[in-house]
Structures are given as C-alpha cells and as structure tokens.
Structure 1
C-alpha cells in the first residue's frame, strides 16, 4: 500500500534532505513540496496525502496552526521536523506520530517512517477472517513498561528483537532492553507476523533488522542484525525466516 507524502518546510535544503530520504523507500510516493502553511493547506485539499513531514517554525502560520486549520477528518498523519526540542510535548499533544530533530539522522528517520506504517495499519478497518464475524485483532503500536514509578512507552516500530528472560521478555531497542511481564508466546501472538518472526524458542526478530542469514551446523543458522547482534536461528524456524526475508 503506497504512502502518499507531502513535505512542508520553508528551508529548501531541509525539503531536499527529506525527499532524498523518502526516495529510498519503495512504498512512498511524494505528492508535493511546500514552503509555507498557506501552500500546504491548498496542496492537502488537492492531493489528500496520507502523511505530512511538517516543519514547526515557518513564516506566517507555524506547523501547529496549520494543523488547527484542517478539519480532523482531512488531517493526515504527521511527523514534525524542528531544530528545537522544546516543541516535543506540543507535537505529541497534536497527535503527531513522531518528532524529528534537525539535523536529521538517517536511522532515526527510517524509524519514524516505520512508526507511521505501524500506526497506519492500526487505523485500517479490521478484515474479517473466514467464519469470524469479529474480524482480526489489531496489532499494538506500543507497549507500556513500568520501571519503578515511571511508565515508559516502547514503540513497536523501534523494537529490534525480543528475547525470553525467565518470566519476562526483553524488548531490545537499540542498546536498551525494556522488560515486560509476558511470555514470548503471548507476545508472538500479539505482534504483526508481517513484521516479526520467531527464530528460536527464546527469540523473536524484526524482519527488517536482519542484515544477513548464514548457515550453521545441524541445519541451524545465524542471523546478523544491522547493529551487529548475532542471533541463533534454530532449524524449526529457519525456513519461516527465509520466506519472510524473501518477501
């Protein structure tokens, strides 16, 4: 499913950077670029984009004011762009999917786009399965992890892999590991199988994080992730991972 994107930023260099990063993704169609909120409002009415990459500070109306001009049914998903951290809380109050600081990091940009895809799938109507009047359950876009008195939100789009740790599961997000009190089997049933695959009785991996699959002994395999992590892939699950990587 194509993702129709409108890029809104008063800086031409910033727009070119976003467009260049979007061009790496086959499921993205760039429907236009705008330098002002007034241009953007006209383009949104004409093009009906699915997603806005939206600068916060622009001449005239800023990004938040632009969104307030749009009727909620016509409001696309939004990823805010800004050089200022202080706007982060306002961005999420405006129900933005993500918030990127300039200068933009390539890996962080790709994670933001993956969050958009995950959120978009969650917004689509459930498709009834044969004989199932209730339809398929939607997959969660985030998990809440309690650490002492704090509640930490882990976005599913940020998870690299998951491992079983006793009565818990460890959600690996970059160099951090957040623990949730669920079994691996419970988590596997809640995750989108188009995005995650079981590779071992104690591990699940995000398919797009796998950089290399190498044969090992006894028909097992080793999966190397983009960050260098190496996971054992048991022969029970190796064929499913190969099929997923082939897709």
Structure 2
C-alpha cells in the first residue's frame, strides 16, 4: 500500500509521516509539497491513500482533485485548518477529514477507515462521493474560502486545564518554535499556540499581518524600517527595535505589500 502526504508545510508532512510509521501499515510513504507536485505524484505513483491539505500556496486540494479526474481515484483524507463550510461539505458526502491541529487517536481512526475502505474494494463508491463533493463546491456562488474564511479576532489558548483568549489586535509579532507559534503582545507577554506558521497566517487578516520568513509573522503597522543588505537582501526593523530577516521566498509579496520596488 502506498500513501501520499500532500501539504506545503514541512512540519505537517513530517508529523503525518511519523504517525503512519507508528501505525505500521506500510513502508511506502511519499510526500508532495505543492498542488502541482501532488498531481504529478498521484499520476505517477497511483497511491492508495492520500492525506490532502486543502489550502496550499499554489492551489487548493479541490483543484488537485479536478486535475486528476481519471478512472483511478485513491482514498482521500482531507486535512484542513478551516471548519464551518468545509466540515459541512465533507459530512454531507460522508468523506473523512482531519481538522488541524488533530490528535493522534483521531489520525489513526481516519487512517484505518481509509484502509478498510480499500480492503472492502469501495473505490467506485468513494470516487462517486469525490465527484459529488466537487460538484457541490462548484455549485456554490462563492468559493469555499471566500464564503467561510473569517479572520481571527481572538486566539483561544490553553494553559493547563484552563482556556484563555488573546485579542489579535494586541499581537505585535509571531515567531515559531517547532510546531508551536510564540505570540508576542504589546503587554510584553509571550503566549504559546500549537499551530504551524502556514496555517496561522491563513487565519490572520492580510491587511494586518504578513509573513516574512519561515518562522516570523509581523504586524504591518509595527514595521519601522526596511533596510537593504546588498545582493537583494533585506532586514526589517520594528518600532520596538527588534530586527528580522526577509527571506527570498517571501520577498516579492512583502515588497509589493509595502509598495517597495523589487530590485
């Protein structure tokens, strides 16, 4: 059995791969870091199960499925950081999904359901469900993300047995540590949130926040200076004096956002 993991976040792929290995169901685990790479991998490898992230940088998971409308449809387990409409769509079609951040037990449950579907030879029935899901989404007047993507106004955090809230308007910048985000507020406090930076930035209003490297998200209005470092390099200084590097991956979108000509 071949399993393909499709996610543009390396840490997310690594965690899923680790859990599959722990489940001891196969040694044939493959990865794709973009929609384009996923399409190529699916057509070449013909995996039995795919863990498919919905929102990637180049296209959505649904776009990937539209590109592989062939007689061969593998078992898909969708992975998403968004709920509401996405969850409703999956439940209507009885299609499995994992809502990030998911727990180990929930992952194993989805994995073994996918394996059982293969053993029962339910490929045709599942392919029909996938086609119905795509049709369901296409019939909507607005896209999935436009309809249900509400940016966070406050972040729900857990400390021990208690839950508390941090207003996004109080956040100055965010850095990452492994799969955890470190949230720094105007009060000088640091809060820990279990989420990848790729998923976190999708939840934040792009008018307020921007990602400048793999491990840093900044509040736009807190940026004081952008300094050229030579050979196309830039550093960013905040109002509080902290400095961060702007990396190549995020340079073009950042400079466009703040209206600086890329040179």
- Normalised by the shorter chain, which TM-score bucket? 0.3 to 0.5
What TM-score, normalized by structure 2, do the two folds share?
Answer: 0.43
TM-score by length of 1: 0.46
Structure with higher RCO (Cα < 8 A, 6+ apart): 2
